[in-house]
């Protein structure tokens, strides 16, 4: 194997490792989003239940602060649903049929070096596109986390007053 072929192989392998790492990051973010919803559900059930139990029976209706807390809970759920919903435009692999048509079904098949360079190039483009999506999902998760924190503060404020 020549030096150029070794470099091509290394770049090719690295391009797939980068996409694999992105897939792991997306899975971890979805797992954290699920844990966030579970925490929000428990917090709303416990603190909302306590807030309702401490209210006199004549005031059984929800006060505005309770509605704010419930709205924050709904926000957490909707934002995390956005995070965990699979994206159809996330590119983590290449379709084999497309690869065969593009690189083999020609009069002159593409060399291994040219194939590796092309796939590494497209993996890089996919990595950049996925990174933009990942930043948006990360920001959405951060907003959902802030909503949960605000919800807890509102429930505790209701209980303290």
Q: pLDDT of 51-109, one tens digit each?
A: 887 776 655 677 899 999 999 999 999 999 999 998 888 887 778 888 787 777 778 87
Confidence at 127, pLDDT banded by 50, 70, 90? very high
Q: Say how far apart CA 79 and CA 29 lie, in whole Å.
A: 13
**What is the SS3 assignment for 50?**
helix
Q: Say how far apart CA 103 and CA 111 lie, in whole Å.
A: 9
- Please tell me the total number of residues recorded for the chain in this structure: 161
Q: What pTM did the predictor assign? A: 0.83
Whether residue 24 is predicted with pLDDT greater than 90 in this model: the reply is: yes
Confidence at 39, pLDDT banded by 50, 70, 90? very high
Higher-confidence residue of 3 and 82: namely: 82
Residue 72 confidence (pLDDT): 98
Whether residue 23 is predicted with pLDDT greater than 80 in this model: the reply is: yes
- CA dihedral for 107, 112, 113, 117, sign (positive or negative): positive
Token match 């844990």: residue? Answer: 35
Residue 138 confidence (pLDDT): 97
Higher-confidence residue of 74 and 16: namely: 74
Q: Which tokens hold the place of 21?
A: 């790492």
Decide: residue 59, CB within 10 A, 0-12 exposed, 13-18 middle, 19+ buried. exposed
Q: Which helix (H) or strand (E) holds 85?
A: none
Residue 58 confidence (pLDDT): 59
What average pLDDT does the chain have? 89
């Amino acid at each position: 194997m020549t030096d150029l072929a070794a470099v091509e192989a290394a770049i090719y392998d690295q391009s797939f490792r980068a996409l694999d790492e992105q897939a792991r990051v997306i899975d971890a973010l979805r797992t954290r989003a699920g844990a966030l919803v579970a925490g929000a559900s428990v917090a709303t059930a416990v603190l909302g239940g306590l807030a309702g139990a401490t209210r006199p029976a004549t005031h059984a209706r929800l006060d505005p602060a309770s509605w704010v807390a419930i709205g924050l809970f709904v926000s957490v759920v909707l934002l995390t649903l956005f995070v965990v919903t699979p994206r159809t435009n996330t590119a983590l692999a290449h379709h084999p049929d497309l690869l065969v048509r593009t690189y083999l079904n020609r009069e002159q098949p593409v060399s291994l070096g040219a194939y590796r360079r092309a796939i590494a190039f497209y993996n890089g483009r996919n990595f950049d596109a996925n990174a933009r999506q990942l930043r948006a999902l990360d920001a959405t998760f951060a907003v959902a986390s802030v909503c949960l924190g605000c919800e807890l503060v509102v429930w505790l404020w209701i209980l303290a007053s």
